[in-house]
Amino acid sequence: MPELREDPISGRSVIVAAGRAARPHTVAEVVPPPAEAPGTRAGDDDRRRSRPEASMSADCPFCAGNEAMTPPEVARTGGGEPDAPGWRVRVVPNLYPIVGAGAHVNGSATGAHEVVILSPDHRADFGALDDDTAVEVLLVMRDRVGHHLDAGRAFAFAFVNHGRAAGASIAHPHAQVVALDVVPPRVVEMAERFAVQDLVPGELAAARAADLVVIDGPAPAWCPPASPSAYGMRCAHRSTRARFDEATDAEIRVVALGVRDALARVDTLLGSPAYNVVVHTGAPGVHAGEMHWHAELVPRLGHHAGFEFGTGMLVNVVPPEQAATLLRAAAPAPDAA
């Protein structure tokens, strides 16, 4: 029997309907997926990303040596001259920004939109980064969010779209930072829920009780009891810091490695699906200090369709209890990350 569950962090109602995973699909059937974990299906080739064989692509604007193909960089780590090879992580303005750069007036969508290129390696998504690179990437993302808040933006956050089904238009692994001159309603609503109590420790305790913790440690990764997506996870530091930009280097390190390791398990289990990672964070002045910044990992194994658009409810075809068991068993080989 399908179950209706409430996700206190996102505020979403989720129907866990395991039987839906077995329904037939006759539209645009293609090559079967490389993994047969519950919730995967034939016909989803655009949701599965195969890593390119070459570590560099001559026509990729994000590869080292092609720096002239992007706008001038705004930040980088590593050596070398600006807009030249030698970088480890590179940040450039997005050529097709969601927001405009002009002065904010009523009705205008203004702010900043940047691309964080994870590494010169055309193949290495976040789940395949070595320890030092994963940590450096998340530190750069934190610093760019802080930069925009210090400049007076109302809200800024970071996310990863990896694979076509997750919204990526360029294959080279990258993250994005978006700063806005308004605080999004969803961020305000989440802060209001956290103003009542810190929801992360409560959900983590519920996850422990239900055996939903996938990776334990200072920054655990777990499948939420009311996970809005199949094989979805959250990862958070045990500290109660509200904002991503206020996190210490030590906190960033353990969260970066937790997210990296969780994505590596997703990759091992599901055959390299597209995915999103969103770093949820508080906004200055909006229930200040009440949030608990955390990362949300969403493998993109299905589409939102008429039911979701019509009701605002989500459907998860893989019970979190099953997903957590499979993800724990999918630990990659020590040299896979």
Query: Does 31 have pLDDT greater than 80?
Result: no
pLDDT in tens, 246-294: 999 999 999 999 999 999 999 999 999 999 999 999 999 888 778 999 9
Beta-strand ranges (E) seen in 80-154 are 87-93, 111-117
Question: pLDDT tens digits, residue range 134-180?
Answer: 999 999 999 999 999 999 999 999 999 999 999 999 999 999 999 99
| Measured torsion, CA atoms of residues 261, 266, 272, 274, in degrees rounded to the nearest 10 | -100
Strand partners, 113: 178
Instruction: Determine what percent of the chain is predicted with pLDDT higher than 90.
Output: 78
pLDDT at site 21: 52
Compute the Cα dihedral for 157, 161, 167, 168 and give only its sign.
Answer: positive
Residue 182 in tokens:
């308004």
pLDDT at residue 332, rounded to an integer: 76
| pLDDT tens-digit map of 233-259 | 999 998 888 999 999 999 999 999 999
For position 48, what pLDDT does the model report? 46
Instruction: Tell me how far CA of residue 102 lies from CA of 80, 157, 179, 181, in angstroms.
Output: 32, 19, 13, 11
Residue 102 has a pLDDT of: 76
**pLDDT score for 93:** 98
Could you report the per-residue pLDDT of 170-215, keeping only the tens digit for each? 999 999 999 999 999 999 999 999 999 999 999 999 999 999 999 9
Q: Whole-angstrom Cα distance, residue 75 to residue 54? A: 26
| Buried-exposed string 307-316: b where 16+ CB fall within 10 A, e elsewhere | eeeeeeebbb
pLDDT of residue 68: 97
Domains in the chain: ranges and CATH: 3-329 (3.30.428.10)
> Alpha-carbon distance 161 to 184, whole Å?
19
The answer to whether the predicted template modeling score (pTM) of the entire model surpasses 0.85 is yes
**Mean model confidence pLDDT for the chain:** 89
Instruction: Give residue-wise pLDDT tens across range 43-101.
Output: 444 444 445 556 777 899 999 999 999 999 999 999 999 999 999 999 999 999 999 98
pLDDT confidence band for 303 (50 / 70 / 90): confident
43, 226, 294 from 58: Cα distances, Å: 30, 44, 36
Name residues whose C-beta falls within 8 Å of residue 81's C-beta, 6 or more positions apart in sequence.
Answer: none
* Alpha helices for the chain (secondary structure H): 131-150, 185-196, 199-209, 249-270, 306-311, 320-329
Asked whether the beta carbons of 65 and 55 are under 8 A apart, the reply is: no
Nearest to 95 by CA among 64, 123, 62: 62
Contact call for residues 37 and 326 (beta carbons, < 8 A): yes
